[in-house]
Amino acid sequence: MKMKKFISSLGILGTITGMLLVSPTILAETALDPAPEVQPSQTVNNGKKVLFDNTHGQTAGAADWVIDGAFSDFADALGEKGYYVKELRQLTPITLADLKDYDVFIIPEANIPYKASEQQAIEDYVSQGGAVFYIGDHYNADRNKNRIDSVEAFNGYRRGAYEDITKDMSTEEKNSDAMQGVTSSDWLSETFGIRFRFNSIDNIEDSQEWIVEDAFGITEGVSKVGLHAGATLAITDPTKAKGIVYTPNGLTKEKNKWRNAVDEGVYNGGGIEEGPYVAISKKDQGKAAFVGDSSLVEDITPKYTREENGATKRTYDGFKEGDDAQLLLQLVDWLDDTENYTDFSQTSVALSTKTPVLDFEVPENTTEPQAEPWAMPQAGYKWYAPSTFVAGSFGSSEDPVEQPSISVVHQNTPNIKEENKVTIEFSGLKPNAVSEGYQFGVYTPVAQNGFAQGNQVAATKVGDDAWQETLGYSNTFSVTADSSGKAKMDVRFKVQYSGDYNFRIRQNKTNMLTQSITVKEEADVVTPAPNEEDATYDVTGQISFITSDKPVNPLDPENPGNELDPVNPDGSKPGSGTGGLLSIDYASSLSFGKQVVENQLKNYGAFAQKYNNSDKFGSNYVQVTDKRGSGAGWVLSVLQNKQFSSSTAGELTGAKLFLGNGQLNSPNMLQAGFDESLKPTHFVSDLVADNSQVVGGLELIPGYSSVLMSADKNQGTGTWTLAYGHSKDSNIGQLTSNDPEKSSVILSVPSSANPKETTYDTVLTYKLSMVPAP
């Protein structure tokens, strides 16, 4: 990751592929709706029953750990082995009565803590012969931003908050039903002799050898398992707990630390001392199992949208990877098998060694390395109140907006330099209504034929319109649905070079369909073979590239083809960018001028960005560059390290800093045929302000990180600027005035702040992480 700090001050006077990208439509589902189930195979029925928990945030954020969603491959495989599988969904706490009729209780990554009564119910269930299977994830995978991840929910306490699990929660959060009856204890270790660690391990190479120990046949035929940003466990009582799969030896924090880890990530160099990645436990008449990552269980069929913002979920196709499926199914087979011994000392298997833990892992000694949650929740979203969840997410009572179905029928085999006709067919539209804003285009998913990755490669024609010979998306078109909600549109395209391309349809710049196509040379073109009279002579063409980690110069955010020489508000020269293949090139420092002390709420706009030896001024902005060439994605966040404060007068209590009117730009966007789906996404919303009111924008909370931009796979390559405001909207700030109506960066100071005649400042830290956050 890359981080850069910038100072903001206020002086007070004194001074201040495939087919459709649209997910199948589902009806709204809540905990009150009938739970899904998987019946045993018609040919195999072992009489055993498996229950999956979905009462503790298993669908929060990007998670979709349900048996008819991104855990469906696992659930279906259990059904094929003869298990009856059902989801537990209810609003009341888990009791022994909920569990006692099932042989195995599987708990996917939980994001809401378990009440003491629920822990007791699980403990009683296992003691009486039941089995529980915990599927965890890495520390800080806090998907609903409630400060509690699965590591902490399972262990029974929060890192850095052992004495009070509700530390830093609002009164409303503390009083929510979700937190009633939740206590802090080292419950998992005391009950099962094992504890999830806070490490975050990633990037294990195929050539590295996993340590697999045989125990009760569980790991038979298993040599490689998936781990993609996950945790290991610490064995605290070897008579109760046993490790069966360990990460390879020789792991380092330089190579194997998850890129967003908040500490060293790798604690003991991998291997046995890192603790097991997969483990089992024996308690009284029952059993337990544990894995440190959801990646080896999940598949790519998420069911719901994100509860916070309605975004589409992307999950990993891990169940089919390596020996993951075999290991998981053999684990469940062992769990459902009743055995009489009460701990592993009564068996012939070798006991595991106790895992050495670091001092900060001792529950009472834990500290919080980074303020939580890792990002502020979206306005209006409350993790404990399903009534605030977005339509289409689990828990929302509102049906998602039904999306139309779009398909493509090619009327001929696409050939180069020909008019290739395509019929686009729509269904599910509003009957007899016009649907507008559609475009289509053909782009290359890889660099080829002189085109960069993502470039448009086709001339286009819509219906009876004229040809658009400039390579790029087609003219915008509309369709009129018939009485059954169906419509068609004939379009044509021409491509000059053969290759494998993507055909894409979008509506109002939102991708609706992406389909791979192959464009070939014309079938009747035959290249004559050389004969004795032909003479040939080969020459070569060559170019070589090297990477450079030198800093990238700041660009003009409104005209990114031009470089500029920005200066700080006081006229001094700012520091250079971070350099590297993934870099923060520049970010504006902020000044709100010298203001007269007033006993009322007052908003101040930041001065505009100034430039060296120039009368020009512009938006405050941040600039990043991705020269890695991998298209792996990234996330840019900003942390306000502290409240505006003075060494002599203390904090400017209650002051709020807002960023607004985000504007993306890049030299890439100047290229003809640029595919806008390759842009990163920004989260700096529109803002308007006057002297006493701020509406919209992104509020920075001291001590918390806020995500500004996010680039998914193949997005955000090259240099990108995010400006706060645009000159055409007269909201970029001014050079001599702090009028909030003319600015997109606002400092709001309440009368209760009681400012003194001194200077108050804060520090903003921009952080560029190599992969999207969880």
For residue 297, is it within any domain? yes
Q: Residue 118, SS3?
A: helix
What residues are paired with 620 via a beta bridge?
724
Q: Is the predicted pLDDT of residue 410 greater than 90, yes or no?
A: no
Any residues with CB less than 8 A from the CB of 466 and at least 6 apart, and which? none
Q: Is the predicted pLDDT of residue 120 greater than 60, yes or no?
A: yes
Q: Is the predicted pLDDT of residue 201 greater than 60, yes or no?
A: yes
Spatial distance between the Cα atoms of 465 and 459, rounded to a whole number of angstroms: 13
- Do 130 and 67 fall into the same domain? yes
What residues are paired with 732 via a beta bridge?
none
Grade residue 6 by pLDDT with cuts at 50, 70 and 90.
low
> What CA–CA distances, in Å, run from 759 to 120, 238, 351, 643, 645?
55, 59, 63, 13, 8
For residue 456, is it within any domain? yes
Q: Identify residue 387 by its one-letter amino acid code.
A: S
Domain boundary among 398, 423, 455: 398
For the segment 195-201, the average pLDDT, to the nearest whole number, is 97
For residue 364, which of 146, 119, 157, 113 has the smallest C-alpha distance?
Answer: 157
- What is the 3-state composition of the chain as percent helix, strand, coil, each rounded to the nearest 5? 10, 30, 60
> What CA–CA distances, in Å, run from 672 to 124, 501, 709?
66, 17, 24
- Do 119 and 164 fall into the same domain? yes
For residue 537, is it within any domain? no
Q: Is the predicted pLDDT of residue 13 greater than 80, yes or no?
A: no
Spatial distance between the Cα atoms of 202 and 319, rounded to a whole number of angstroms: 17
Q: Is the predicted pLDDT of residue 546 greater than 80, yes or no?
A: no
**Other Cβ atoms within 10 Å of 230 Cβ, number:** 25
Q: Is the predicted pLDDT of residue 258 greater than 80, yes or no?
A: yes
542 is written with which tokens?
């060559």
351 is written with which tokens?
């006991």
Grade residue 522 by pLDDT with cuts at 50, 70 and 90.
low
> What CA–CA distances, in Å, run from 125 to 103, 152, 276?
10, 21, 25
- Do 96 and 132 fall into the same domain? yes
Domain boundary among 369, 398, 427: 398
**Other Cβ atoms within 10 Å of 688 Cβ, number:** 16
* CATH code of the domain covering residue 278: 3.40.50.880
599 is written with which tokens?
């006993």
Any residues with CB less than 8 A from the CB of 418 and at least 6 apart, and which? 412, 494, 522
For residue 520, which of 409, 416, 412, 410 has the smallest C-alpha distance?
Answer: 416
For the segment 583-611, the average pLDDT, to the nearest whole number, is 93
For residue 531, is it within any domain? no
Crossing angle of the two packed helices 324-335 and 72-80, in degrees rounded to 10: 60
Q: What is the pLDDT of residues 224-252, one digit of tens each?
A: 999 999 999 999 999 999 999 999 999 99
For the segment 87-106, the average pLDDT, to the nearest whole number, is 97
Quickly count helices (H) and strands (E) in the chain: 8, 42
Q: What is the pLDDT of residues 686-736, one digit of tens each?
A: 999 999 899 889 999 998 888 899 988 889 999 999 999 999 899 999 999
Q: What is the pLDDT of residues 468-507, one digit of tens each?
A: 878 899 999 999 999 999 999 999 999 989 888 999 998 8
Grade residue 526 by pLDDT with cuts at 50, 70 and 90.
very low
- Do 382 and 436 fall into the same domain? no
Any residues with CB less than 8 A from the CB of 324 and at least 6 apart, and which? 225, 226, 296, 297, 318
* 706 against 512, higher pLDDT: 706
CB 184 within 8 A of CB 364: no
Grade residue 430 by pLDDT with cuts at 50, 70 and 90.
confident
For residue 408, is it within any domain? no
The per-residue pLDDT for 18 is 27
Instruction: Choose the weakest-confidence range: 79-83, 441-445, 654-658.
Output: 441-445
- Using CB atoms within 10 Å of the CB of residue 657, give its burial: 0 to 12 exposed, 13 to 18 middle, 19+ buried: buried
Grade residue 12 by pLDDT with cuts at 50, 70 and 90.
very low
- Do 51 and 192 fall into the same domain? yes
**Other Cβ atoms within 10 Å of 752 Cβ, number:** 9
> What CA–CA distances, in Å, run from 252 to 204, 225, 233, 275, 647?
10, 19, 17, 15, 41
pLDDT, the chain, mean: 90
CB 266 within 8 A of CB 170: no
| Nearest-10 Cα torsion for 609, 610, 616, 617 | 20
757 is written with which tokens?
């005649």
Grade residue 73 by pLDDT with cuts at 50, 70 and 90.
very high
Backbone φ and ψ for 319, nearest 5 degrees, come out as -60, -30
Place of tokens 């706009």: 605
- Do 487 and 391 fall into the same domain? no
User: What is the number of alpha carbons within 13 Å of residue 163 lying toward its C-beta?
Assistant: 4
Q: Residue 188, SS3?
A: helix
Q: Identify residue 316 by its one-letter amino acid code.
A: Y
Any residues with CB less than 8 A from the CB of 91 and at least 6 apart, and which? 31, 32
Instruction: Choose the weakest-confidence range: 61-65, 86-90, 160-164, 409-413.
Output: 409-413
**Other Cβ atoms within 10 Å of 474 Cβ, number:** 23
Q: Residue 187, SS3?
A: helix
Instruction: Choose the weakest-confidence range: 22-31, 131-140, 434-443.
Output: 22-31
412 is written with which tokens?
């001929």
499 is written with which tokens?
């290759």
- Do 369 and 261 fall into the same domain? yes
Q: Identify residue 496 by its one-letter amino acid code.
A: Q
For residue 547, which of 517, 595, 519, 581 has the smallest C-alpha distance?
Answer: 581
For residue 524, is it within any domain? no
Q: What is the pLDDT of residues 354-391, one digit of tens each?
A: 999 999 999 999 999 988 898 889 889 999 999 999 98
The per-residue pLDDT for 270 is 97
For 334-381, the DSSP string reads HHTS--S-SSGGGSSSPPPPPPP--GGGSGGG---SS-SSSSPPPTT-
The per-residue pLDDT for 20 is 28
Q: Is 680 left (phi over 0), alpha (psi -120 to 50) or beta?
A: beta
- Do 699 and 756 fall into the same domain? yes
CB 470 within 8 A of CB 437: no
Grade residue 548 by pLDDT with cuts at 50, 70 and 90.
confident
Domain boundary among 519, 539, 571: 519
Q: Is the predicted pLDDT of residue 453 greater than 90, yes or no?
A: no
Q: How far apart are the first and last CA of the chain?
A: 15
- Do 49 and 6 fall into the same domain? no
Instruction: Choose the weakest-confidence range: 155-164, 220-229, 238-247, 427-436.
Output: 427-436
- Do 509 and 615 fall into the same domain? no
Instruction: Choose the weakest-confidence range: 1-15, 118-132, 177-191, 737-751.
Output: 1-15
What residues are paired with 767 via a beta bridge?
3, 637
The long-range contacts involving 597-601, CB below 8 angstroms and separated by at least 24 positions, are 597/12, 597/13, 597/14, 597/755, 597/756, 597/757, 598/751, 599/751, 600/692, 600/751, 601/692, 601/748, 601/749, 601/750, 601/751
How many domains does the chain fold into?
3
E-strand ranges in 660-758 read: 662-665, 681-682, 687-689, 694-696, 698-700, 705-711, 718-724, 745-749
* 377 against 534, higher pLDDT: 377
For residue 466, is it within any domain? yes
Q: What is the pLDDT of residues 619-636, one digit of tens each?
A: 999 999 999 888 888 999
- Do 435 and 573 fall into the same domain? no
The per-residue pLDDT for 23 is 35
Backbone φ and ψ for 224, nearest 5 degrees, come out as -135, 135
- Do 686 and 663 fall into the same domain? yes
Q: What letter would DSSP give residue 61?
A: T
* CATH code of the domain covering residue 464: 2.60.40.10
445 is written with which tokens?
């998913």
For residue 197, which of 260, 140, 120, 128 has the smallest C-alpha distance?
Answer: 140
For residue 17, is it within any domain? no
Spatial distance between the Cα atoms of 392 and 27, rounded to a whole number of angstroms: 7
- Domain assignment of residue 476, given as a range: 414-519
Q: How many residues does the chain have?
A: 774
Label residues 140-179 b or e (16+ Cβ within 10 Å = b). Answer: bbbbbbbbbbbbbbbbbbbbbbbeebbebbeeebbebebb
Any residues with CB less than 8 A from the CB of 190 and at least 6 apart, and which? none
Grade residue 104 by pLDDT with cuts at 50, 70 and 90.
very high
